[in-house]
Structure 1
Amino acid sequence: MSSVVYKSIIKVADKFVPAKLVPLWNHPAGPKTIFFWAPTFKWALVIAGIGDLQRPPEKLSAYQSTALAATGIIWSRYSMVIIPKNYNLLMVNIFVGATGIYQLIKIYNYRTGLKKQQTQSE
């Protein structure tokens, strides 16, 4: 049922796509496919990660940041192996990985600073 609705929407939308955007529209990883929409919605993770940049390091989760960094790195590699090449997937995963790595560095620096304070106070 949903496939029929989706195909109907695409058929109507095909008429309104400007000539310059037709190659992108018809690309194997273009807006007509899940290969476009899945990474597009994944940008919400990047936005959330950027929102967390202002969060104090004691409130950050090392486990969550590790998971984001690892998935960003793994899926960045995967996006270059699959056919069709999906540069939207590549970019979103680079940013997911980068925000995860940045948060991990922030957590590490915070915890290292705490240990230094403890040893100085003893």
Structure 2
Amino acid sequence: AAGEAVVEETQEAAENAGEAVTEAAVDVKDALVAGTNYNATGKVPCKMGSSSTTVTCDFEVVREGNGNSYVHITNPDGRQRTIFFEEGKATRYANSEADNHEFKATKEGDMSIIHIGEDRYEIPDAVIMGG
């Protein structure tokens, strides 16, 4: 009987510990930039049109977890793009009939290289995943 009580107490303690870990994991959220709904803001390298000159574009990212996120990019001329990532891979961009360019995404190490028409964006994994 004493042995069964110890086993029951051990099982109960393990279940309680598991519930606490699950609750803690649910409570862990990516921080937001103060006053925004974005998890991070900054600049990424980009090239516009047929120019060979690399410039910087402003970005804002919303991370949804598991490598899913979307990145708002503002080009130097003020045009904006939103690029969507699923499981860390760029999958598409928000486009309209007026902005219907070919989308191509590749990886070079920890960098996603994204081409939308002639424009090129370099987005590090740290932007997508945090860290």
TM over 0.5: no
Q: Looking at secondary structure, tell me which structure has more strand per residue.
A: 2
Larger Cα-atom Rg: 2
Structure with more contact order per residue of length (Cα contacts < 8 Å, sep ≥ 6): 1
TM-score, reference length from structure 2: 0.24
Q: Looking at secondary structure, tell me which structure has more helix per residue.
A: 1
